Structures are given as structure tokens and as C-alpha cells.
């Protein structure tokens, strides 16, 4: 069982941490990292080495619906003193930008979030898979708050599924990318032999390489399609 799964299985897991990355790169803009609070030191939360600024922000409506229709989450952020107006004006009201929701638990946050910079449970891999959405439509907007409706990236006009090559054995993710999700210590070379040298750390892009990094019994974030090639004409 993975670390995050074991934590979620507890009767009293540590506090849930939701972190938001507003990815403006599709609009030739920057990445904006936000969290609706501060750490115990009253400083911005740091996760996987990245700082998330404390900012009044709320997102809801991510639950999968039983009828199979795609959810349309909403995100609402403070606009006090026009704090978001500049980004809204410069980047097309954020329409077309991505929202990446990262989820972990407080006990796994980077050590810098704790007194003395010590946290024996710090684990950058202890997280649920990133949740990725697209800013689809701007909602209410006034001097106090501003909201958007989000859409599934696949729920866009003109999108074709799948939008990438399908392989049944070789992972298509770039190692240590946001899709891959691994951000831990060096593990193995490209042939799956062990190494602690960062310059030699390469993923084999096979299931075996993924298991070495996430655990043999973990839910692997590997970018393969096991069913491809299993269907044959008769």
C-alpha cells in the first residue's frame, strides 16, 4: 500500500492539504501557486520544493457524477483591492489557462514548514494524482471576489481522444514531469539497476521502473494503455 493510501485508510488522518497551480503558460504567462492558508509557522506552504502563497481561494464541485456527465467545478478567489484584475486583463480573463489541483496531507509537507525545519515524515511522493482542469468561463466578478467555471481538458470543442500515442508497455510520460509525479531521491538507472547518483537516475519507462519508485502494490501513475494490442479482428 502506498504511503498516501495508508494515511487515507487511517481513522484520523492528518489534515488535508489542497494546493492550486494556475498555469498561464498556454497564454504565454507564468505559473501562480496558491493555497488557502499558511503553515504552522505562519509562512507560505512549501510542497515538493515549491512555495504556495497564502491567498483566499476556494474550489468545489470536483465530485464524479453517477450519471456519467462531466463535473463543472468552480473556483472562487478574493479580488479585494483588485488583486487579480491585472492577470484577468492581461491573460484573456484566464480562459484557456489550466488549474492544477495538488492534494496531500499535512504530515508529508516539506520539512521547512515545521519548527526547526524538521519533519521525519516529509515525503514529496505522498500525494494523490494531480487534478487538471481548464478555465472555461468567467463567472461572478466584483470588487470582493471573482469566480470561474472549470472544464475537463477533454471536454473542449475540437478535441480528439486520445490526444497522444497509445503504448501498452512503454510509458509516454517524461520522467519526473508533472504527469509522472515522481519527485523523490535517485532510484535506478534506465535498466532498473539501483543507483543513488542523480546523474545516473533514469526511468526504464516500464512498469518495473514505476514500481521501483512508487511501490510494488501502489496505484501507479504510469502512462501506458495495457489494453492496446489485446483486441484482434476475427
CB 96 within 8 A of CB 75: no
Are both 173 and 142 inside the same structural domain?
no
**Is 48 a domain residue?**
yes
**Is 192 a domain residue?**
yes
Look at residues 151, 179, 199 and tell me which one is the last residue of a structural domain: 151
pLDDT one-digit tens code per residue, 50-97: 999 999 999 998 887 666 677 889 999 998 877 788 888 899 999 999
Total number of domains constituting the chain: 2
Are both 85 and 174 inside the same structural domain?
no
CA 86 to chain centre: 25
Are both 144 and 231 inside the same structural domain?
no
Look at residues 116, 151, 186 and tell me which one is the last residue of a structural domain: 151
Residues in the chain: 234
How many helices (H) does the chain have, and how many strands (E)?
3, 9
Are both 69 and 29 inside the same structural domain?
yes
- In angstroms, the first-to-last Cα distance of the chain is 40
**Is 157 a domain residue?**
no
- Determine what percent of the chain is predicted with pLDDT higher than 70: 89
Look at residues 127, 151, 175 and tell me which one is the last residue of a structural domain: 151
Are both 58 and 140 inside the same structural domain?
yes
Other CB atoms within a 10 A radius of the CB of residue 201 amount to 19
Are both 110 and 195 inside the same structural domain?
no
* Sequence-ordered alpha helix ranges (H) in the chain: 3-8, 85-90, 207-214
* pTM of this structure: 0.66
When mean pLDDT is compared over 70-74, 138-142, 191-195, the highest value belongs to 191-195
H/E run at residue 137: strand 131-141
* Sequence-ordered alpha helix ranges (H) in 71-189: 85-90
* Whether the predicted pLDDT of 11 surpasses 80: yes
Are both 202 and 147 inside the same structural domain?
no
pLDDT one-digit tens code per residue, 197-225: 999 999 999 999 999 999 988 888 888 87
pLDDT at 162: 53
- Would you state the cell numbers that stand for residue 85, as one nine-digit string? 484584475
**Is 77 a domain residue?**
yes
Domain coverage including residue 233: 164-234
**Is 158 a domain residue?**
no
* Whether the predicted pLDDT of 165 surpasses 60: yes
Are both 111 and 200 inside the same structural domain?
no
Are both 132 and 172 inside the same structural domain?
no
- pLDDT mean over 30-47: 95
**Is 114 a domain residue?**
yes
Residue 225 or residue 33, greater confidence:
33
Summary mean pLDDT of the chain: 87
Amino acid at each position: 500500500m502506498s504511503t498516501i493510501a495508508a494515511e487515507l485508510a487511517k481513522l484520523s488522518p492528518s489534515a488535508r492539504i489542497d494546493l492550486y497551480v494556475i498555469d498561464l503558460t498556454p497564454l504565454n504567462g507564468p505559473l501562480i501557486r496558491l493555497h488557502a492558508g499558511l503553515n504552522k509557522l505562519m509562512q507560505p506552504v512549501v510542497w515538493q520544493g515549491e512555495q504556495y502563497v497564502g491567498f483566499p481561494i476556494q474550489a468545489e464541485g470536483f465530485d464524479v457524477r453517477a450519471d456519467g456527465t462531466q463535473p463543472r467545478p468552480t473556483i472562487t478567489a478574493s479580488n479585494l483591492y483588485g488583486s487579480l484584475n491585472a492577470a484577468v486583463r492581461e491573460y484573456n480573463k484566464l480562459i484557456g489557462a489550466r488549474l492544477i489541483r495538488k492534494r496531500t496531507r499535512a504530515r508529508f509537507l516539506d520539512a521547512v514548514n515545521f519548527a526547526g525545519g524538521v519533519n521525519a515524515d516529509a515525503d514529496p511522493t505522498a500525494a494523490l494524482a494531480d487534478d487538471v482542469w481548464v478555465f472555461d468561463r468567467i463567472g461572478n466578478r466584483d470588487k470582493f471576489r471573482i469566480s470561474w467555471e472549470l472544464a475537463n481538458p477533454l471536454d473542449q470543442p475540437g478535441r480528439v481522444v486520445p490526444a497522444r500515442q497509445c503504448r501498452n508497455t512503454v510509458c509516454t510520460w517524461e520522467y519526473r514531469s508533472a504527469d509522472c509525479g515522481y519527485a523523490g531521491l535517485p532510484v535506478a538507472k534506465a535498466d532498473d539497476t539501483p543507483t543513488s547518483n542523480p546523474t545516473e537516475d533514469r526511468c526504464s519507462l516500464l512498469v518495473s521502473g514505476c514500481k521501483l519508485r512508487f511501490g510494488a502494490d501502489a496505484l501507479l501513475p504510469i502512462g501506458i494503455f495495457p489494453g492496446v494490442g489485446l483486441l484482434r479482428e476475427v
